[in-house]
Every structure is written in C-alpha cells, then in structure tokens.
C-alpha cells in the first residue's frame, strides 16, 4: 500500500464534494486501482505521488473524480431489469396509448445500458419511438457513449450475438452501434445532485447501482429529484442491492418475477 | 448439466472447462469437431457445447452444421468460443445454428454473462 492517510482523505473529500459519493476508510484499494492508470500515464512513481502532484492543480481534479466514479459496465447488465422492461413496463405504457417513450439512463457510464434499452425496444416494439437521455459525470465516458464504438472485449460483455449482428457493424478493431440506435440516445453531462437533465418528463428511469454510494440523506434527495423529473405513471429501476424502502416512502415497489420496479405513489 | 468443451488447445479446454465447472457444469472435453460428435453420441445429457472454430479434422463450424442435422440434439445450446471475430463469420455461425458467440480473448465474466442470458446459469445481480 503506497497510499498515505492524508492522500486518501484528500481524494475522499474531493470525490464527496464533487459527486457526493462517500469513500470511507478501507476503500484505499479502490483509490489505488482506479488512479493507477492515471498515475502511470502522468509518469508518477505511484498513486500517492500522483495525487500529491495534482492537489494544487485544480484542472486535474475532474480527472480524479471521474476515475473514482466510473463503473465497469456491460450490456444487459443483470438481465432481469431488461426482462421486466420488455414484459411488463413497456407493454403497460403502450397499453395506455404511449407511442413515444422518454427514458433516462442515469450514471450511464459508456452507454451500454442506454443502448441496451434502445435495442430491446427497437426489437420488440417496432412502432414505438424512444428518446433516451443518458447522463454521467464523466466527460470521457459520455464521449465514448456518443461515439457508439466498443472494443471487442467490451462487445463480449453480455451482448447477445444476434443483437451484435443486427445492430452493430465492425469498423476495423472496434464495433460500432448503428445510426438508428445511436440516434435514439442523447448523452448529457449531469450530476445527480443538480437539476435533472433535459428530455423529461421521463416515463422510465434507470438509476441502477448509484444510490449505494450515497448516504441516506443524499439517497432521499436524489430520489426526490428523480421523482420530480418523472411522469406520474412512470417506472423507476434501481440496482438489485438498492431500494426506496426505508429511504423515501413516496414510491411503491412492484415485484415482477425475481426483480422489482418502483412507481411514484399518487399525490406524493 | 453436462457441457462439452471443444478446442484443439488443451490449455483453452482447461480455461473454458474451469469456468464451466465453477458455474456448476460437469465438463467433457473434445479436441476437434469429429471427436466432439463422438462424445455427443456417448453422453446423451450434454446441454451446452463451447466450440472453437479452427481445429484439425473437423472445424467448429462444420460441427455446428452437423449437430443441427440431428433432431435429438436440437435442445443443445451451441456457443462458439473463437478468435474469429469478423462479422460475416458471426453471421454464418448463427445462421448455421449457433446460439452465442464469444470472441477470444475473454474473461470468465464474459462466459458467465452469456450463460445467464441463455438461461443456463442462475442470474446473480451485481453491484
């Protein structure tokens, strides 16, 4: 371990101020592993030296925050929410007469979740238009998402081969998602602690594996903002380890198979 | 469930087989497509085949074509695991009857993601 307590505290404070994500003691390994590539590319001998170097350089702070707040991502991550989307949520919306769905993929990282949603709806509900707003804090992730280009390793992670064949084309060493799917997703920089992004009110929100990083007060605050950005009959997907129960009682939990989805309670 | 790992590289068979054993499969190995057909005939409870493309004697693609001629094997899931990553090859393999396609190199998660999607292993949601 090369990270001093002082360095860790600096990074934890910076990340908390910029993203509200709590990095508690014991997460030193996370800071080490996420910042190691930055340290290497900056020519620093180790992460500790790298952080000492950027402390006074405010232009580098965003890089540090991005590295700590970006999650690994895969296509159709965990599958269940996408099954619920296809079998329950979209049919309900379509049954109510919706012909256009506004969807928010929050903390979208490099866009796999947003594009997975777009592909599922394109394949199963051909008459339905989708406008997906994909947001993240990290500019580098948004740029990657916008490009729609993924390496072979990224393509391998969870993307069913029939969808690869149908929606992607190979361009040299990478695969690029086709323009029709790309056009249904708009990437915007957004901090969940600020105002919700343009593009709402949203019929469906994916806010998965984000709340786990926040304390209860921040979770409640984020859920309230999300509710304010949703259609009254909208649906919210959270990560498997997350719930509104005990945090914000303005949501109704609906069990669908092994998975659950949330709806704003009326009048809240 | 029993899985058949078909690759002419012993090392690859061990890598893929190890992932499948950890996921709860019983693993049978074959060195090429013909060897694999023989194993299929021996074991009537193989539910999944992980198939390299380029192998001597009979390629993985030829194996897929052959398996799909047999009605008794119609429920067997066929997954290519190969360095061949050209789009037209993926299209050919799927058209011939493969369900899934993994391009080497891969991590264990890649195989597990695919098996989850195919409904062959339990879905464990990640955080």
Question: How many Cα atoms within 13 Å fall on the side-chain side of residue A113?
Answer: 31
Query: Is A149 among the domain residues?
Result: yes
Q: How many domains does one find in chain A?
A: 2
Q: Quick: pLDDT tens for B65-96.
A: 999 999 999 999 999 999 998 889 999 999 99
Phi and psi at residue A12, to the nearest 5°: -60, -40
A152 touches chain B (CB under 8 A): yes
b/e burial code for range A140-164 (CB count within 10 A of at least 16 → b): ebbebbeebbbebebbbbbbbbebb
Q: How confident is the model at residue B117 (pLDDT cuts 50, 70, 90)?
A: confident
Query: Is A140 among the domain residues?
Result: yes
Q: How far apart are CA A191 and CA A184, in angstroms?
A: 22
Asked whether residue A13 falls in the same domain as residue A95, the answer is: no
What residue ranges do the domains of chain B occupy? 2-117
State mean pLDDT over A47-67.
Answer: 88
Q: Give the lowest-confidence range in A20-29, A58-67, A145-154, A177-186.
A: A20-29
> Which residue in A73, A86, A156, A210 has the most chain B C-beta atoms within 10 A of its own C-beta, making it the best mutation to test that interface?
A156
Strands (DSSP E) found in A82-143: 100-106, 129-136
State mean pLDDT over B96-114.
Answer: 91
State mean pLDDT over A189-212.
Answer: 92
With a CB cutoff of 8 Å and minimum separation 6, the contacts of A174 are A149, A150, A151, A152
Asked whether residue A230 falls in the same domain as residue A249, the answer is: yes
Asked whether residue A96 falls in the same domain as residue A141, the answer is: yes
Query: Is A250 among the domain residues?
Result: yes
Q: How far apart are CA A132 and CA A199, in angstroms?
A: 8
Superfamily for the B2-117 domain? Response regulator (3.40.50.2300)
Q: Quick: pLDDT tens for A207-233.
A: 998 887 788 999 999 999 999 999 999
Q: Quick: pLDDT tens for A229-266.
A: 999 999 999 988 889 999 999 999 999 988 899 999 98
Percentage of chain A modeled with pLDDT above 70:
97
State mean pLDDT over A94-112.
Answer: 95
Query: Is A62 among the domain residues?
Result: yes
Q: Which one is predicted more confidently, A62 or A197?
A: A197
DSSP three-state, residue A141: helix
Judging contacts by C-beta atoms under 8 Å, the chain A residues touching residue B106 are 153, 156
Q: What is the pLDDT of residue B124?
A: 59
Q: Residue A191 sits in a domain of what CATH number?
A: 3.40.50.150
Above 50 in pLDDT, residue B127? no
DSSP letters for A64-87 = HHHHHHPPP--TTTTSHHHHHIII
Domain boundary among A69, A94, A121: A69
Asked whether residue A109 falls in the same domain as residue A164, the answer is: yes
Measured in angstroms, the CA of A120 and the nearest CA of chain B are apart by 13
Q: What is the pLDDT of residue A94?
A: 96
Q: How far apart are CA B42 and CA B49, in angstroms?
A: 14
State mean pLDDT over A8-23.
Answer: 86
Asked whether residue A56 falls in the same domain as residue A91, the answer is: no
Q: Give the lowest-confidence range in A69-78, A114-123, A154-163, B37-46.
A: A69-78
Measured in angstroms, the CA of A156 and the nearest CA of chain B are apart by 6
DSSP letters for B67-115 = HTT-GGGTT-EEEEEES---HHHHHHHHHHT--EEEESS--HHHHHHHH
Above 80 in pLDDT, residue B122? no
The answer for A 69-98 residues in CB contact with B (under 8 A) is 74-80
Q: What is the extent of the structural domain holding A113?
A: 80-264
Above 80 in pLDDT, residue A180? yes
Measured in angstroms, the CA of B81 and the nearest CA of chain A are apart by 11
Query: Is A173 among the domain residues?
Result: yes
CB A19 within 8 A of CB A65: yes
Above 70 in pLDDT, residue A178? yes
Q: How confident is the model at residue A16 (pLDDT cuts 50, 70, 90)?
A: confident
Query: Is A74 among the domain residues?
Result: no
Q: Which residues pair with A174 in a beta bridge?
A: A151, A171
Asked whether residue A64 falls in the same domain as residue A102, the answer is: no
- Cβ contact, residue pair B127, A240, below 8 Å: yes
What are the Cα distances from residue A27, in Å, to A24, A31, A47, A65, A249? Answer: 6, 7, 14, 14, 31
Q: Quick: pLDDT tens for A125-142.
A: 999 999 999 999 888 889
Asked whether residue A95 falls in the same domain as residue A63, the answer is: no
State mean pLDDT over B89-112.
Answer: 92
Among A188, A212, A211, A213, residue whose Cα is nearest residue A200: A188
Asked whether residue A134 falls in the same domain as residue A251, the answer is: yes
Domain boundary among A47, A69, A91: A69
Q: How confident is the model at residue A30 (pLDDT cuts 50, 70, 90)?
A: confident
Phi and psi at residue A100, to the nearest 5°: -135, 130
Query: Is A53 among the domain residues?
Result: yes
Q: Give the lowest-confidence range in A70-84, A100-114, A167-181.
A: A70-84
Q: What is the pLDDT of residue B101?
A: 96
Asked whether residue A98 falls in the same domain as residue A141, the answer is: yes
Asked whether residue A155 falls in the same domain as residue A212, the answer is: yes
Q: How confident is the model at residue B123 (pLDDT cuts 50, 70, 90)?
A: low
Asked whether residue A166 falls in the same domain as residue A219, the answer is: yes
Query: Is A26 among the domain residues?
Result: yes
Domain boundary among A28, A49, A69: A69
Asked whether residue A172 falls in the same domain as residue A213, the answer is: yes
CB A236 within 8 A of CB A230: yes
């Amino acid at each position: 371990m090369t990270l001093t307590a002082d360095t860790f505290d600096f990074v934890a404070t910076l990340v908390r101020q910029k993203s509200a994500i709590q990095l508690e003691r014991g997460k030193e390994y996370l800071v080490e592993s996420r910042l190691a590539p930055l340290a290497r590319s900056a020519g620093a001998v180790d992460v500790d030296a790298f952080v000492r170097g950027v402390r006074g350089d405010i232009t580098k702070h965003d890089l540090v925050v991005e590295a700590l707040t970006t999650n690994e991502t895969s296509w159709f991550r965990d599958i269940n929410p996408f099954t619920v989307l296809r079998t329950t949520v979209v049919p309900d919306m379509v049954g109510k007469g919706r012909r256009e769905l506004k969807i928010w993929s929050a903390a979208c990282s490099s866009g796999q979740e947003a594009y997975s949603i777009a592909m599922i709806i394109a394949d199963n509900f051909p008459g339905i238009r989708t406008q997906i707003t994909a947001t993240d804090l990290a500019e580098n992730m948004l740029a990657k998402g916008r490009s729609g280009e993924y390496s072979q390793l990224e393509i391998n992670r969870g993307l069913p081969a029939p969808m690869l064949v149908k929606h992607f084309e190979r361009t040299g060493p990478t695969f690029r998602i086709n323009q029709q799917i790309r056009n249904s997703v708009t990437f915007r920089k957004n901090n969940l602690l600020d105002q919700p992004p343009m593009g709402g009110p949203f019929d469906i929100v994916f806010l998965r594996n984000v709340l786990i990083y926040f304390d209860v007060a921040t979770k409640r605050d984020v859920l309230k903002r999300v509710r304010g950005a949703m259609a009254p009959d909208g649906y919210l997907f959270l990560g498997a380890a997350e719930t509104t129960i005990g945090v914000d009682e303005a949501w109704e939990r609906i069990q669908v198979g092994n998975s659950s989805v949330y709806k704003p309670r009326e009048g809240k | 469930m029993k899985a058949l790992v078909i690759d002419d590289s012993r090392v690859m068979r061990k890598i893929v087989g190890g992932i499948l054993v950890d996921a709860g499969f019983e693993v049978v190995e074959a060195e090429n497509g013909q060897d694999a057909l023989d194993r299929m005939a021996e074991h009537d409870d193989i539910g999944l085949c992980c198939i390299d493309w380029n192998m001597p004697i009979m390629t993985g693609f030829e194996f897929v074509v052959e398996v799909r001629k047999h009605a008794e094997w119609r429920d067997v899931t066929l997954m290519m695991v190969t360095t061949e990553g050209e789009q037209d090859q993926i299209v050919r393999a799927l058209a011939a009857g493969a369900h899934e396609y993994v391009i080497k190199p891969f991590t264990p998660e890649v195989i597990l993601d695919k098996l989850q999607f195919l409904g062959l292993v339990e879905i464990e949601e990640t955080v």
